[in-house]
C-alpha cells in the first residue's frame, strides 16, 4: 500500500515535470484530466492506508489480549501448583518462588509484546503521516500552479479581448 501512494506521487511529479512551461513564469500547464485522475487515485489510496493502519492497531490489540490471556493462564497454573503443595512447607516456599517467577516472566512477556506492537503501530502511523504530508505538499503546489495559470491566462485574455477574440482549447 505504501508504494501505491508513493507511485501516485511519482506520477504526479512526472506529470508536472512533463508539463509545458508558461514563458516568463514558473508556471506549468498540465492536462487537467490526467491531473484529476491522479488526484482521484490518491483519494482512493489514502483511505486504504488508513484502513491498513486500523487493521494493524486491531492486530496489536488482539496480540495484547492473547498475551494477557496467556499470562492469566500462567498465573492460574502457578496458583494451582501452589495450592497443591501447601501441605509441605519447604515445597511451598519453592512453589511460591516459582509462581512469582512465572508471573514476572509473564508480565515481562506482556510488556515486551506491548512495546513491540506499539513500536510497529507508531512506525506505521508515522510513515502514513509522512506520506500524507507529501501528498498535501504536492497538491498544494499543484493548486498554486493552477491558480497562477488561471490568473495569468485570465489577465492575458482580458488584455487581448479588446483587440481580438481569444480561442480557448480545453484539450
Predicted confidence (pLDDT) per residue in 46-82, tens digit = 888 788 888 888 988 999 899 899 989 989 988 887 7
CA angle 124–129–132, rounded 5-degree value: 125
- How far is Cα 20 from Cα 28, in angstroms, rounded to an integer? 5
Q: For residues 91 and 97, which has the higher predicted lDDT (pLDDT)?
A: 97
Predicted pLDDT at 1: 45
Predicted pLDDT at 169: 61
Domain parsing of the chain, residue ranges? 2-161
Rounded to two decimals, the pTM is 0.36
Span of 14-18, 69-73, 90-94 with lowest mean pLDDT: 90-94
- How far is Cα 63 from Cα 101, in angstroms, rounded to an integer? 22
Q: Which residue has the cell 506521487?
A: 9
- Are the C-beta atoms of residues 82 and 99 closer than 8 Å to each other? yes
Cell of 48: 486504504
**Residue 162: φ, ψ to 5°:** -75, -25
CA dist 71 → 40, 76, 103, 153 (Å): 47, 9, 7, 70
DSSP 25-68: SS-EE--HHHHHHHHHHHHHHHHHHHHHHHHHHHHHHHHHHHHH
- How far is Cα 50 from Cα 125, in angstroms, rounded to an integer? 9
Residue 64, number of CB atoms within 10 A of its CB: 15
Amino acid at each position: 500500500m505504501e508504494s501505491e501512494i508513493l507511485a501516485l506521487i511519482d506520477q504526479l511529479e512526472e506529470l508536472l515535470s512533463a508539463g509545458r512551461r508558461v514563458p516568463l513564469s514558473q508556471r506549468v500547464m498540465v492536462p487537467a484530466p490526467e491531473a484529476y485522475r491522479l488526484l482521484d487515485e490518491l483519494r482512493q489510496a489514502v483511505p486504504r492506508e488508513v484502513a491498513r493502519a486500523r487493521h494493524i492497531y486491531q492486530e496489536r490489540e488482539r496480540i495484547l489480549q492473547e498475551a494477557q490471556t496467556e499470562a492469566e493462564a500462567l498465573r492460574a497454573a502457578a496458583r494451582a501448583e501452589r495450592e497443591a503443595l501447601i501441605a509441605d512447607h519447604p515445597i511451598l516456599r519453592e512453589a511460591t518462588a516459582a509462581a512469582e517467577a512465572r508471573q514476572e516472566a509473564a508480565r515481562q512477556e506482556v510488556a515486551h509484546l506491548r512495546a513491540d506492537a506499539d513500536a510497529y503501530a507508531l512506525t506505521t502511523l508515522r510513515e502514513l503521516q509522512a506520506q500524507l504530508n507529501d501528498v498535501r505538499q504536492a497538491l498544494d503546489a499543484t493548486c498554486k500552479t493552477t491558480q497562477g495559470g488561471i490568473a495569468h491566462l485570465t489577465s492575458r485574455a482580458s488584455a487581448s479581448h479588446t483587440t481580438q477574440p481569444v480561442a480557448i482549447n480545453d484539450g
